[in-house]
Amino acid sequence: MVSSLKEIVIGSPIASENAHHERLSKKIALAVFSSDALSSVAYATEEILLVLAVAATHYGQATTFKYVIPISIAIAVLLVLVSISYRQTIYAYPSGGGAYIVAKDNLGTTPGLIAAASLLIDYVLTVSVSIAAGVAAITSAVQGTHYEWIADHRVLICIMFILTIMLANLRGVRESGMIFSIPTYVFIFSFLGMILWGLGRYFISPVTVSTPIDLSKMAIAEGYSPAPLSLMLILGAFSNGCSALTGVEAISNGVPAFKKPESRNAATTLIWMAVTLLVLFLGTSVLAYLYHVVPLQNETAISQFARMIFSGPFKIFYYVVQAATAAILVLAANTSFADFPRLSSLLARDGFLPRQFANQGDRLVFSNGIVILSVLSSLLLILFDGDTHRLIPLYAVGVFLSFTLSQTGMVVHWWKERGESRVHKAAKESRLDASIRPEASTEGVDAARRIGAVTEIADWKQSIVINALGAVATLIVLTVFIITKFIHGAWIVVVLIPIIVVMFRSVKSHYNQVAEQLLIKPPYKLRKLGQTVIVPVSGVHTAVLSALEYAQSISKDVRAVYVSVDEKLEEKMKADWKQFDIKIPLIVLDSPYRSLVRPLLDYIDKTDRESKESLITVVMPEFVAAKWWHHFLHNQSSLFIKGALIFRPSTVVTTVRFHLKR
Amino acid sequence: MVSSLKEIVIGSPIASENAHHERLSKKIALAVFSSDALSSVAYATEEILLVLAVAATHYGQATTFKYVIPISIAIAVLLVLVSISYRQTIYAYPSGGGAYIVAKDNLGTTPGLIAAASLLIDYVLTVSVSIAAGVAAITSAVQGTHYEWIADHRVLICIMFILTIMLANLRGVRESGMIFSIPTYVFIFSFLGMILWGLGRYFISPVTVSTPIDLSKMAIAEGYSPAPLSLMLILGAFSNGCSALTGVEAISNGVPAFKKPESRNAATTLIWMAVTLLVLFLGTSVLAYLYHVVPLQNETAISQFARMIFSGPFKIFYYVVQAATAAILVLAANTSFADFPRLSSLLARDGFLPRQFANQGDRLVFSNGIVILSVLSSLLLILFDGDTHRLIPLYAVGVFLSFTLSQTGMVVHWWKERGESRVHKAAKESRLDASIRPEASTEGVDAARRIGAVTEIADWKQSIVINALGAVATLIVLTVFIITKFIHGAWIVVVLIPIIVVMFRSVKSHYNQVAEQLLIKPPYKLRKLGQTVIVPVSGVHTAVLSALEYAQSISKDVRAVYVSVDEKLEEKMKADWKQFDIKIPLIVLDSPYRSLVRPLLDYIDKTDRESKESLITVVMPEFVAAKWWHHFLHNQSSLFIKGALIFRPSTVVTTVRFHLKR
């Protein structure tokens, strides 16, 4: 029954051989891999405004919020740097260069694990932040009578979204082009349209759109109190805005999913994504500035200016923008549902996470990772009350830590490979290979061509400079993050990462210890062992007789053991035994304290001492009840005895079940 | 570790032979058995006032509350009737005549079960009501600054009391004379003192004590709204006051605990108890009337007049009264902790409750009953917010239903025995017995003398009239209860009783069915059976080799089965098998859906069909982790396989454990 329920919800199992590896065109890949990065446009600008708002009462709206423009430009510059950096990773790791792999390969296990820990944290945060922001886009559009209700239930709505995404992923929704393309391109084009329309409208008739906003309803960043402008404040706003960069690394992880030549296509797509993100993010910041948007508690910044831009007969476009925003945010959360399980399966295969994370479920997906991610992100939403602004300070610390480790790893990578280009290396490997397998030679040339290394990466020195620049820039930003956002929540991540790394380490050390204990060298001759079988009996009935028959079938030395707690019952037992004429000796044990387990264990100890040569098997007669509630009606003494024997070495427990029919 | 923690809290086990049966003198028995009955003095009068208060705003204080006197007298008359009735039960059932036994013996199983259900419900309510009232006595005494805090946390305080009583009972506090005598006699004498002092003081100088009370603070019974006096209201007040009678039956259940002659001593003690209860209850009602007490939300009625009576230098006696009240209420709750487990063990022995209730724990007490009672009464206190007044409408329905059934049972009892006195009967039985055992003859005479039947019960006609009177009176009261208190909570009990009876019946029917399925007629010749042993293997390591050795020791037909989910691993497995030179055939099963369980089950099915003559044993190699958290690091596939095999008939599962040391 459980299994058929599972089939309805999750679908019937998929055979291993049906594992498919759809290759993506650039257009579709852009949609598949960029939803995480692009969706941050929905909240990045607003998070900058929220920090600036701290100073708004001191300097007034106009003076304070103009800083959104230079801050956004600084973030855009950082974006360009990081994108160029990652473009190099794409060529160096055509099989997928996640921060964990790059850092582990080049910097060692611990940096790799630190990167992995930060990524896992960030995947969880991506789900929480994206879903919270998506729900905020919906609540913003539903101003009016229903607002209160929806706002009060936002955590519940968030969790419903997560559950839906979880189920979809457990069913194994593939990165099927259409599902991703439509919302992503609708988002891109509706935002581009809004930016153009908004700019045009502003410069044609600026008066109509600039409505005064009630400053008393203004929201400011969590944990701040009104204060004058300062460098810390500007840096804080910058840190918050850097959430725009999350997800930029996605393409570099997914190179093998591209059509051939993989690396070149992936690199092109990365550039396209970076450009799109740049335009949308800067455009959003400019609109927010021009339309004098201030952060409000009950409406997002985008919703505010979109409402002003698409007024009157164009109102429909406002709803399109909000719907597209919500949709791309849900997609962004969905990418974590691919990334988190994939990274945990890598970690599990390397022995740093429980093995269960490496198993693919019925539908060829890493089910355990999917469920854990859903639980953690839901918990986070409950703890932070489904509020994007309160989650943002935790966000991006992990992303930039993994950026830094990954870029530093790339610097080391180029240094190790200095003097030999990828082409040489590929050719060399194929030659080595060719000495064993003749057909490998052509493969080598083919591989070199495929990874597109011939023309792209001319010089290791240039590469090392670019990645070093990326590493330094992201390290500086990371430091700024930790300084400006530490007390607002970043400390949680700073504390969590070492804890998770220690956890990885102890899991690994356990697996190593188990492997050591299980290790045995061939050849091995199986020993011949004798058997002493003990059958605890409670009376003479069908279940006990079956157990005795079973015991006789595995050994000649069988003893029925009866624990006596009541003299009358003991008499009856002895009489029955005689009457049934059972040829097996009945051993009666006294139990002065009415315990069933204690005398039995003592007897086993005694038998063990007497017959050193043979194993001891305890054959337990056990009922299987016909209905679940019947279990409460039986003493479960079999369970207690089995529990007590678990920790007794060299005693084997066998359960002979008697299936009750009613 | 768990077991040593248990020893600290509960104490070390007590041997069965130390079960002691202390015989009680009348003075001590009065203390042991009467705390439940006497303690109801603490709330019975107030519960009458609460209902009368409904009409107080219509008629004024003086007119309304005078009805407390006639109502109390009516209850006192009922008390006399019930006591005389139960006095007869004591003689008729010298081995203890609880309502369950009397009703079952004389009226049949269903009436017996109805009585049992009502008693169980009432034991739970006794705990809840007594503890709530005890805590109210404490909060009343702590007027002033701490009042708010204590009142807010009363549910918590109640539960702490219940936990303490539970632990004491799990340790097995015996009905040791002193523990019970001191609080009971302090209660009796302090109340008698208060009544005398209060009456004296009132008639010497009535002016000083009659302070005006703020009627706006008056509490009225839950679920009522102000209304004029009516018959229904008077009957409602009467019903509430009848809670004074709860516990009167206690002595008749405990006759065997008395010193010889048991019945006569028990009967005398019952009369003493009834007289004491009568005096205290009437005295309390008279004082409440004289001192113009009205029910208040934050102070009990007794606390109000005790405060007035013991003013100035005598204030210390006020605290004595409150402390004695709280103490006897806690004792009353404690009696349920003896009664509930005893009754459930009787029911369990008769097969109407799960067998676990019939087991005595380490400390010779019925631990399961004690724990269940604590949980249920705590739940009730949480649901009803620790408020005595809200619990009272549920209370006493069960008591009076069991009174009625018990008295009706007695009527039938006398009718069956008409014409032969207990003496004749005992003599007759002993003669019958004497034909088998010669020494029984003198026992018969001795028994007849011991039960004191010679002089006490002269005439069955007189007996039948008394019990019939008792039955009719309690039936009328029961009807009044149900009518007046139905909507205020009595419906819960009315609904619960049939549900519990159905539950009793289905438990019994399950046990009967099991017994039928297990029944087998002697003699029985154990069959000789063959064995096919299947060992699921995941690799070649120490744990698997131990399992294979074990398998070889129980059968010659052993098959190692490997489920392949990955081609590379399969190759390695086959190579290892060859290298280790294991003489057991390795069977490799394909698993297109990556399931371990499915292919294994299919293989077992196949083997089962092929070898019809022999049993199939699955020998599972299994790790036992050294630390609890290590369990999460293993696949638990053994658990899944065992789970799947539970429901497969005629397949035996044997676990060969490998104990990891680290």
Cβ <8 Å between A579 and B360: no
The answer to whether residues B162 and B333 touch, using CB atoms and an 8 Å cutoff, is yes
Inform me whether the C-beta atom of residue B312 falls under 8 Å from chain A C-beta atoms: no
Query: Token pair of B582, please?
Result: 């294991």
Inform me whether the C-beta atom of residue B545 falls under 8 Å from chain A C-beta atoms: yes
How high does pLDDT run on average in chain A?
85
What per-residue confidence (pLDDT) applies to A18?
Answer: 66
Helical residues (DSSP H) of A296-352, grouped into ranges: 301-309, 315-349
Cβ <8 Å between A655 and B653: yes
C-alpha B467/C-alpha B89 separation (Å) is: 9
Cβ <8 Å between B545 and A526: yes
A 344-383: CB under 8 A from B: 354-356, 359-362, 364
What per-residue confidence (pLDDT) applies to B420?
Answer: 61
Q: Residue count of chain B, please give it.
A: 662
C-alpha A157/C-alpha B590 separation (Å) is: 44
HSE-up (13 A, CA, CB side) for residue A512: 8
What per-residue confidence (pLDDT) applies to A374?
Answer: 95
Helix axes A315-349, A154-171, angle to 10 degrees: 60
Minimum distance, in Å, between the CA of residue A410 and any CA atom of chain B: 32
C-alpha B425/C-alpha B364 separation (Å) is: 35
Query: Token pair of A503, please?
Result: 């956890």
Minimum distance, in Å, between the CA of residue A623 and any CA atom of chain B: 9
Averaged pLDDT for residues A430-438: 48
Burial class of residue A186 in the structure, from the number of CB atoms within 10 Å of its CB (0-12 exposed, 13-18 middle, 19+ buried): middle
pLDDT band at B625 (very low <50, low <70, confident <90, very high): confident
Sheet holding B586-590, edge to edge: A586-590, A557-564, A530-536, A614-624, A651-659, B651-659, B614-624, B530-536, B558-564, B586-590
Secondary structure letter of residue A379 according to DSSP: H
Q: Count Cβ atoms below 10 Å from residue A589 Cβ, excluding itself.
A: 15
β-bridge partners, A258: A24
Are β-strands A530-536 and A614-624 bridged in parallel, bridged antiparallel, or unpaired? Answer: parallel
C-alpha B480/C-alpha B485 separation (Å) is: 8
Residue A280, CA distances (Å) to A156, A190, A245, B267 in order: 30, 10, 12, 95
CB-closest option in A580, A615, A624 to B522: A580
* CA proximity to B31, closest of B324, B445, B380: B324
**Residue B202 CB partners (closer than 8 Å, separation 6+):** B209, B290, B291
What per-residue confidence (pLDDT) applies to B614?
Answer: 80
HSE-up (13 A, CA, CB side) for residue A162: 31
C-alpha A584/C-alpha A557 separation (Å) is: 9
- With helix as H, strand as E and coil as C, how does B207-254 read? HHHCCCCCHHHECCCCCCCCCCCCHHHHHHHHHHHHHHHCCCCHHHHC
Max mean pLDDT among A586-600, B202-216, B617-631 falls in A586-600
The answer to whether residues B609 and B617 touch, using CB atoms and an 8 Å cutoff, is no
What per-residue confidence (pLDDT) applies to B21?
Answer: 60
Token pair 């004024």 is at which residue? B60
Query: Token pair of B463, please?
Result: 């007996």
CB-closest option in B355, B635, B660 to A356: B635
What per-residue confidence (pLDDT) applies to B19?
Answer: 64
Task: Collect all residues of chain A within an 8 Å Cβ-Cβ radius of residue B594.
Answer: 13, 16, 359-362, 364
Cβ <8 Å between B356 and A662: no
What per-residue confidence (pLDDT) applies to A434?
Answer: 47
Backbone angles phi, psi at A46, to 5 degrees: -60, -35
Cβ <8 Å between A513 and B662: yes
Inform me whether the C-beta atom of residue B429 falls under 8 Å from chain A C-beta atoms: no
Residue in A closest to B548 by C-alpha: A526
Bigger pLDDT: B442 vs A113: A113
Out of A227-236, A624-633, B23-32, pick the least confident. Answer: A624-633
Task: Collect all residues of chain A within an 8 Å Cβ-Cβ radius of residue B646.
Answer: 624, 657
Provide the percentage of residues in chain B whose pLDDT is more than 70.
Answer: 89
Task: Collect all residues of chain B within an 8 Å Cβ-Cβ radius of residue A633.
Answer: 354-355, 507, 510-511
Token pair 């890598």 is at which residue? A346
Averaged pLDDT for residues B258-284: 93
- Type of residue found at B10: I
Q: Residue count of chain A, please give it.
A: 662
Has residue B70 got a pLDDT over 90? yes
C-alpha A397/C-alpha A405 separation (Å) is: 12
Provide the percentage of residues in chain A whose pLDDT is more than 70.
Answer: 89
Task: Collect all residues of chain B within an 8 Å Cβ-Cβ radius of residue A359.
Answer: 594, 635
Cβ <8 Å between A656 and B652: yes
Cβ <8 Å between B550 and A633: no
Residue in A closest to B525 by C-alpha: A582
Cβ <8 Å between A653 and B649: no
CB-closest option in B362, B542, B550 to A615: B550
How high does pLDDT run on average in chain B?
85
Bigger pLDDT: A634 vs B657: B657
- A:B CB pairs within 8 Å: 195
Has residue B184 got a pLDDT over 80? yes
Minimum distance, in Å, between the CA of residue A396 and any CA atom of chain B: 30
CB-closest option in A360, A594, A646 to B624: A646
The answer to whether residues B330 and B312 touch, using CB atoms and an 8 Å cutoff, is no
Cβ <8 Å between B632 and A576: no
Query: Token pair of B84, please?
Result: 């005389």
Cβ <8 Å between B649 and A657: yes
Averaged pLDDT for residues B477-499: 91
Token pair 């509630």 is at which residue? A629
Helical residues (DSSP H) of A142-214, grouped into ranges: 147-152, 154-171, 177-204, 206-209
Terminal Cα distance for chain B, rounded: 19
Averaged pLDDT for residues B338-362: 87
Averaged pLDDT for residues A55-83: 88
Q: Is the ipTM of this complex over 0.85?
A: no
Q: Which of B6, B563, B633, B647 to mutate to test the interface with A (most CBs of A within 10 A)?
A: B633
B522 prior amide bond cis, ω within 30: no
Out of A187-196, A395-404, A444-453, pick the least confident. Answer: A444-453
pLDDT band at A173 (very low <50, low <70, confident <90, very high): low
Determine the Cα angle at B26 with ends B21 and B32, to 5°: 65
Residue in B closest to A548 by C-alpha: B526
Averaged pLDDT for residues A127-147: 86
* CA proximity to B197, closest of B94, B289, B113, B311: B311
The DSSP string of B387-450 is -HHHHTTTTTHHHHHHHHHHHHHHHHHHHHTTTS-HHHHHHHHHHHHHHH-TTHHHHHHHHHHH
Has residue A455 got a pLDDT over 60? no
Averaged pLDDT for residues A336-349: 90
Minimum distance, in Å, between the CA of residue B576 and any CA atom of chain A: 8
Cβ <8 Å between A542 and B579: no
- With helix as H, strand as E and coil as C, how does B70-99 read? HHHHHHHHHHHHHHHHHHHHHHHCCCCCCH
The answer to whether residues A162 and A371 touch, using CB atoms and an 8 Å cutoff, is no
Cβ <8 Å between B527 and A507: no
C-alpha A541/C-alpha B522 separation (Å) is: 10
A 549-608: CB under 8 A from B: 549-550, 552-555, 565, 576, 579-584, 591-595
Minimum distance, in Å, between the CA of residue A363 and any CA atom of chain B: 9
Cα B20 from chain centre? 22
Has residue B71 got a pLDDT over 60? yes
Burial class of residue A211 in the structure, from the number of CB atoms within 10 Å of its CB (0-12 exposed, 13-18 middle, 19+ buried): exposed
CB-closest option in A15, A542, A549 to B517: A542
Backbone angles phi, psi at B569, to 5 degrees: -65, -35
The answer to whether residues B430 and B451 touch, using CB atoms and an 8 Å cutoff, is no
Secondary structure letter of residue A656 according to DSSP: E
